[in-house]
Structures are given as structure tokens and as C-alpha cells.
Amino acid sequence: MKGSHRLAPLIIPTFVLLILGIAVNEKVCIAGITSKYIRRPEASVDLPIDSPYFAVPPGNNPPQQVHLTQADRDGQAVIVSWVTPLAALSTVSYGLNKSQYDHSVTGTFTRYSFYNYTSRYIHQATLRNLQFGTTYYYRVGSWVGSGSSYREFSFTTPPPVAPDSPYIFGVIGDLGQTYDSLSTFQHYLKSQGQAVLYVGDLSYADDYPFDNNVRWDTWGRLVEPSTAYQPWIWTAGNHEIEFLPEIGEVTVYKPFLSRYPTPYFSSDSTSPLWYSIRRASAHIIVLSSYSAYGKYTPQWVWLQAELTKVDRTKTPWLIVLMHLPMYNSNTYHYMEGETFRVQFESWFVNAKVDIIFAGHVHAYERSNRISNVAYNITNKACTPVFDNSAPVYVTIGDGGNIEGIAGNFTEPQPQYSAYREASFGHGILDIKNRTHAYFNWHRNQDGEAVVGDSYLLLNRFNAP
Ligand SMILES: *[C@@H]1O[C@H](CO)[C@@H](O)[C@H](O)[C@H]1NC(C)=O
Ligand SMILES: *[C@@H]1O[C@H](CO)[C@@H](O)[C@H](O)[C@H]1NC(C)=O
Ligand SMILES: *[C@@H]1O[C@H](CO)[C@@H](O)[C@H](O)[C@H]1NC(C)=O
Ligand SMILES: *[C@@H]1O[C@H](CO)[C@@H](O)[C@H](O)[C@H]1NC(C)=O
Ligand SMILES: *[C@@H]1O[C@H](CO)[C@@H](O)[C@H](O)[C@H]1NC(C)=O
Ligand SMILES: [Fe+2]
């Protein structure tokens, strides 16, 4: 439960090691790199509760924790969410010019209780029928009556969905709210990223006694300098489950789903935990590692149908987000994603997915294009082999949370692992056109301009 998984003993049966391909296979002979640099191994330290990065904005009942996400299939709608300490209208005013708002929309608010915590007013409102490639200014909060306060922000909608629409995504996972989290976040703020693919584990509130949900509020304020200005595409991780029967909390994902809406209706999903969007030239599928995914389950049924809807002539880039990695050669969480891999790897290979981002393991790792779909229980074909249709797997759970770095990799480095390093950082996926994209990983020790690992992605549909 909670943070204890990092302390769990590692019991790895020999046959499991064989499945993951410790044995050398001639077909995968690209020697991987294990960077010798390992960030100091101590646990990361959370920012104190009175940190200026958690400061409540000034004013009377000011809106805080403002964050955006895409609200429709193609990026012409945005969900704005925010929190007010006291009751207020759930209204967003917006328009093309700063402080001159010719549109407004009123949404809804919710409150939830968690053990002895009661949330403030959590608002959300959806702005629709926006033009592509356009900067909008918006205002949230109350502005009626004396002494009331509101705040103004802006965002830019993506270009139309088209095969050569360039776009730059940030990729962040397992962020938390430590000094290292702050470093990761501040590095990302200096990037050219236009939207964030977030691979799960947000606040780590559940690492606090009684899952102190005040730490959800502090996290919301920490990340607001980005989330109020560009959409973050949310994936649920294990720290979002918050299943704590010992204190009577048995509604899974309650704080996460109360605070972070997702556009699941627009992709015909029946759950906010799995859904898809299209943005510029990318089709992005978000999956839930901790929801049922066996044959006939709602997620399995949805994904099967969803993969048939991908149109690579419109969105050449097919990207999948999940929390738990399918390929991971770190001793931390080793093999945890194996049943998910068995269930879905052949689908991803058949669909020619370009890249899969996952978190959970607090280190960075990038795979070669390999697959292990030939294996079955009787044929001993148990080593991943080079597969030109397979995705690149990136583990990027190195945001910097309180649980510290996952500093122990399995040895020797498996053939499927191209690069791995136990440092905190973030990724940038820079899509140029229908054939070329660059994935760059930036470690926190270096300035944003320095690239720790760089990989040219050639599109699986147009330039396989
Ligand atoms: C917004 O500003 C532009 C010039 O910057 C002006 O042409 C336009 O009329 C303004 N629109 C509104 C609604 O004020
Ligand atoms: C909630 O309960 C815990 C444990 O009894 C206590 O430490 C904390 O102060 C309480 N918080 C509130 C808001 O009452
Ligand atoms: C396992 O693989 C072998 C060889 O590829 C094949 O003949 C056999 O039918 C497979 N078994 C199952 C259960 O798929
Ligand atoms: C890695 O494993 C070694 C040996 O078991 C242990 O001493 C060390 O603390 C581990 N490192 C981390 C970061 O957990
Ligand atoms: C796609 O982008 C790459 C990298 O910027 C460039 O080399 C290539 O010429 C571009 N292709 C087209 C058709 O513009
Ligand atoms: Fe996790």
C-alpha cells in the first residue's frame, strides 16, 4: 500500500528472467547503454507545506489550482478546472483579446470528503467550438461585488488534425512535490512543450499519514504555472487509486476523478480512466494499468474498437500512455507489467504503434524496437526479438517524487534495453511531420538545452 512497494522484496523466479530475455538472441544485437551517472541515492524531500510554490494566490476567494485538458476528439474544446476556497460561480469568460471577453460558459462544481478532509469547491467548465491554432484568453473566479477576485490566463489551441501538423509534447511522470519535482517542473517550463503527456502518479498525497488530501491542493498549486496555460493529458497511476479501507475509503480514484476530468465521452469510452484524443498529427490512447484489462472487460472491449478507428493518413503518429511499463529492466517493479504485456503487446505491434510512454519506475529507460509476441507457454521462443512494427517503449517515471530514484538496474542490461539512467528528468516529443519526430530526454542536472538521450523516431506508418 502507498509507498511501501519500493520496499517490497524482489522475488524473481528463474523462468521469469528467461521470459524477459536475459538469454542472448542473435537477432537483437544492439548493445544497450547504462549511463554510469546515478543521481545521489537519498530519498527526495518534499517541499514544506509553507513553500512559496504552494502559496494561495492573494485576494478574496481567489481561484487556484487552475488546469486545462483537451475536451473533445480533435482539440477544439478545453476543460478548465479550478478550486475556490468558498462557494463561487463556475464561470469562465474567454475571448481572443486579453481582458475583453465576449464569451462565457458556466460549468459545475463538486466537493468530496476523504477521511477527515473535505475538499474546497472544485469547478469545471468546458469551452467549445474554439478555432484551431488560436490563442484564447480566459478568466476564472468571481468578479461581482466588492473585494472579490479573479485571475486571467491564456492557452493556444492546436493546429487542425492533419498528417504534417508539427507539435511538441512534454512527457512527465511520477512528479510528486519534492525539491526534485520542482526541478523537473522548472526545466519543463523552459522547454517549447505545447501540451503534456502525463503518465500517472500525480501528487503522492497517499504517502502521507491518512492520505492527507491537503497535498492534492498543494500539488495543484505547484503545477499551475504550466497547467493553467496548456493542456495536460492525464493517465491514472497507482497513487491515484487511494483505496484505504482501514480509514473507510473504498471508492477508488475518488480524489483524482474529482479533480482531473478527462474527455472520455468523445472517444466512446465508458470510463474517465481510459480514452483517446487526437491532437495535430498524433492519435493518443490513454490506458489504465489498474483497471480490469482481461478479455471481455470494458477496457479491453474499448481498446479493440479504438484501434480500428485510428486513421494513420490523418494522424500518422500513434502514441499510447499507461502508467505501468511493459518493458522495464530496473529491479524496481520488475515484471509488474507482464500480464498487461501478454494481453496487449500483439495488438500494439499489429497496429504499428510508434511509441509507448509509461511511468511507475523512478528512472529513465528507452527500448529498442522489439517484440515478444512469438512466445507461448510451449514453444520456448521467450526472448524479445527485433521487430520493425514494434513500438519504442519509454519509461519516464523519473519526475522526482518523495520515493526517490530507482537506482538499481538488472545486470546484465537486456538486449532490448537501448538506454537507461537513474536520474530525474522529463521528455520532449518533437513531431516534425508525417515521417520524422525526435524524442529527447533531459536530466535535471543539466540545463534544459542539454539532451541526455536523443532518439529519432521514424514513423511506423509512413517511414517504417
Ligand atoms: C482584438 O484586438 C484586435 C487587435 O489586436 C482587434 O483588431 C480586434 O477588434 C479585437 N477584438 C475584440 C473582440 O476586441
Ligand atoms: C485528520 O486526522 C489525523 C489523524 O487523526 C490528524 O492528524 C489530522 O490533524 C486530522 N485533520 C483534520 C483536518 O482534522
Ligand atoms: C506455440 O507455438 C508453437 C510454435 O510456434 C505452435 O505450434 C503452437 O501452436 C503454439 N501454441 C499455442 C497454444 O499457441
Ligand atoms: C541498490 O542495491 C544495493 C544492494 O542491494 C543497495 O545497497 C542500495 O541501497 C540499492 N540502491 C537503491 C537506490 O535502492
Ligand atoms: C520531415 O522532417 C524532417 C526533420 O525535420 C526533414 O528532414 C524532412 O525533410 C521532412 N520531410 C518533409 C517531407 O518535409
Ligand atoms: Fe507508480
Rounded distance between C-alpha atoms, residue 33 and residue 417, angstroms:
8
Residue 332 alpha carbon to ligand 4 centre in Å: 11
Contacts of 323 (CB under 8 A, 6+ apart): 173, 199, 200, 201, 235, 236, 237, 238, 288, 289, 290, 358, 359, 360
Nearest ligand for residue 363 CA: 4
Rounded distance between C-alpha atoms, residue 309 and residue 266, angstroms:
13
Rounded distance between C-alpha atoms, residue 269 and residue 299, angstroms:
8
Contacts of 326 (CB under 8 A, 6+ apart): 337, 338, 340, 341, 344, 345, 356, 358, 393
Rounded distance between C-alpha atoms, residue 134 and residue 77, angstroms:
12
Nearest to residue 223, comparing CAs of 331, 82, 351, 328? 82
DSSP helix/strand/coil, 218: helix
Ligand 2 pocket test target in 210, 214, 244 with most atoms within 8 Å of CB = 210
Our answer on whether the CB atom of 116 is closer than 6 Å to any ligand 2 atom is yes
Rounded distance between C-alpha atoms, residue 108 and residue 257, angstroms:
14
Q: Which three cell numbers stand for residue 152?
A: 486571467
Can you say whether residue 319 is alpha, beta or left, with left for phi > 0 and alpha for psi between -120 and 50 degrees?
beta
DSSP 48: P
Residue 395 alpha carbon to ligand 4 centre in Å: 20
Rounded distance between C-alpha atoms, residue 114 and residue 46, angstroms:
22
At residue 10, the pLDDT reads: 34
Nearest-atom index, ligand 5, CA of 433 = 1
Nearest ligand for residue 114 CA: 2
Rounded distance between C-alpha atoms, residue 335 and residue 172, angstroms:
22
Give me the helices (H) in 310-396, please: 338-350
At residue 307, the pLDDT reads: 98
Nearest ligand for residue 362 CA: 6
What is the residue type of 306? E
For atom 3 of ligand 4, which residue has the closest CA? 408
Our answer on whether the CB atom of 379 is closer than 6 Å to any ligand 2 atom is no
For atom 1 of ligand 4, which residue has the closest CA? 408
Rounded distance between C-alpha atoms, residue 120 and residue 233, angstroms:
23
What is the residue type of 127? L
Our answer on whether the CB atom of 243 is closer than 6 Å to any ligand 2 atom is no
Phi and psi at 175, nearest 5°, equal -70, -55
**Burial class of residue 86, CB neighbours in 10 A (0-12, 13-18, 19+):** exposed
Q: Which three cell numbers stand for residue 159?
A: 493546429
For atom 14 of ligand 4, which residue has the closest CA? 407
Its pTM stands at 0.92
For atom 9 of ligand 1, which residue has the closest CA? 97
Rounded distance between C-alpha atoms, residue 139 and residue 153, angstroms:
6
Nearest-atom index, ligand 3, CA of 376 = 1
Rounded distance between C-alpha atoms, residue 375 and residue 26, angstroms:
16
Nearest-atom index, ligand 5, CA of 435 = 1
Q: What is the pLDDT along the chain (464 residues), one digit of tens a residue?
A: 333 333 333 333 333 333 343 333 334 445 689 887 776 667 789 999 999 999 999 988 999 999 999 999 999 999 999 999 999 999 999 999 998 999 999 999 999 999 999 999 999 999 999 999 999 999 998 755 556 689 999 999 999 999 999 999 999 999 999 999 999 999 999 999 999 999 999 999 999 999 999 999 999 999 999 999 999 999 999 999 999 999 999 999 999 999 999 999 999 999 999 999 999 999 999 999 999 999 999 999 999 999 999 999 999 999 999 999 999 999 999 999 999 999 999 999 999 999 999 999 999 999 999 999 998 889 988 899 999 999 999 999 999 999 999 999 999 999 999 999 999 999 999 999 999 999 999 999 888 788 999 999 999 999 88
Residue 20 alpha carbon to ligand 4 centre in Å: 22
Our answer on whether the CB atom of 435 is closer than 6 Å to any ligand 5 atom is yes
Residue 3 alpha carbon to ligand 6 centre in Å: 9
Residue 62 alpha carbon to ligand 2 centre in Å: 25
CA angle (300, 348, 440) in 5-degree steps: 125
Nearest ligand for residue 422 CA: 4
Phi and psi at 275, nearest 5°, equal -170, 180
Residue 83 alpha carbon to ligand 2 centre in Å: 22
Phi and psi at 416, nearest 5°, equal -75, -15
Query: Which residues have CB under 6 Å of ligand 1?
Result: 96-97, 100, 102
Rounded distance between C-alpha atoms, residue 336 and residue 326, angstroms:
8
Rounded distance between C-alpha atoms, residue 373 and residue 378, angstroms:
13
DSSP 241: T
DSSP 270-315: SSTTSEEEEETTEEEEE--TTS--STTSHHHHHHHHHHHH--TTT-
